Amino acid sequence: MSEAYKKMVQKKHILHSSIFNQTMRDWHSLKTEITPKNLMYPVFIIEAENELQEIPSMPGVARYGINKLKEYLTPLVQKGLTSVLVFGVISSLSKDESATNADSPNNPVVQALPLLRKWFPNLTIACDVCLCPYSSHGHCGILTDKGHIDNARSIKRIAEISLAYAKAGAHIIAPSDMMDGRIGAIKSILIENDLQNTVSVLSYTCKFASSFYGPFRDAAKSAPASGDRKCYQLPPGGAGVALRAAERDVEEGADFLMVKPIMAYMDILKQVKDKYPEYPMFVYQVSGEYSMIYGAAQKGVFDLKTALMEILGSYRRAGADVIITYYTPLVLDWIALKHKL
Ligand code: PB1
């Protein structure tokens, strides 16, 4: 080796010496590790107790009647699943202006909660709270006569639904509606009912008016009947307003924060986690992101497992503590396999 080369390569700039075997590569990657505790699994519950409905736009994801969900969750809990995020989907119950059936006794979530608590005593159950799956107009809040969001009535209704789910057995209330002040309204109704110490609030803190929600709207039958959600979900280009949303929800008592979707919002994730390091930070890999990755792997663009673990690891490196992903069952299998090896 020439003297000139020896002089040129300073000792600390030799990188190969710290990455030439897997153990060393793992040492560099510890902050990206994924354990079952880093995963929350979104599940759709329907009224028909013994039905299972595939969702064409989300291959591998289905809507479950409660008895089918028990069958499906049992092996996942045995593999280490620690938390789920529950979404109700109705077909025979009616939808109206104020989402009456969001918290009616026949609502599939209200009926499922006590059973899920009994069957899976160690599973943490979060419930999405929103009007859109139950409202005739498909918006996430109550509308005025002019078709605008009536924010005061909306957060009152969101709080009522939250209370119903809390009383039915939810550990966590996760309001995805994006109304101003809904976190404070939910915390207040929990306090008024002495549930503030046993029911948490996972805020959909920085949730953007994204183009990545399409498959979910198929799954939950929750697309707006007219217009869009740009007047209450954050503008995709808005970083400042996202940080203001985080500050608002922290002030109002959120227990956990979230960025959603995640792929196009990793900068927001880093900023929010850096500003509020004391809060567990959730990210939601939404339906469009799920299906996009799935489709690319099916077309042979990349190996699903390698690419997905690289993507999930990037969320963790950017500050995510918990990843809400429809890939949870697959990742649980891969984690179990890795520990068997
Ligand atoms: O996976 C996803 O796409 C999640 C979609 C999300 C559920 N929390 C909503 C986004 C939307 O449809 O606007 C539902 C809003 N309540």
Count up the domains in the chain and report the number: 1
pLDDT score recorded for residue 341:
57
Residue 136 belongs to what domain range? 35-340
Q: Which residue, 167, 177, 320, is CA-closest to 257?
A: 320
Model confidence pLDDT, tens digit, residues 176-208 = 999 999 999 999 999 999 999 999 999 999 999
139 lines ligand 1 (CB under 6 A): no
In a domain, 209, yes or no: yes
Q: What is the mean pLDDT of the chain?
A: 96
CATH number of the domain at 256, please. 3.20.20.70
Q: Which residue lies with its CA nearest to atom 13 of ligand 1? A: 213
In a domain, 147, yes or no: yes
pLDDT score recorded for residue 297:
98
Model confidence pLDDT, tens digit, residues 269-282 = 999 999 999 999 99
140 lines ligand 1 (CB under 6 A): yes
In a domain, 243, yes or no: yes
Model confidence pLDDT, tens digit, residues 279-327 = 999 999 999 999 999 999 999 999 999 999 999 999 999 999 999 999 9
- Concerning whether 7 is annotated as a catalytic residue, the answer is no
Tell me what the mean pLDDT of segment 256-272 comes to.
98
In a domain, 16, yes or no: no
For residue 108, give every residue at least 6 positions away whose Cβ sits within 8 Å of its Cβ, in sequence order, or none. 45, 46, 47, 66, 88, 89, 90
Identify whether the C-beta of residue 131 lies closer than 8 Å to the C-beta of residue 123.
no
d(CA 108, CA 114): 11
**What pTM was estimated for this model as a whole?**
0.96
41 lines ligand 1 (CB under 6 A): no
In a domain, 26, yes or no: no
pLDDT score recorded for residue 8:
65
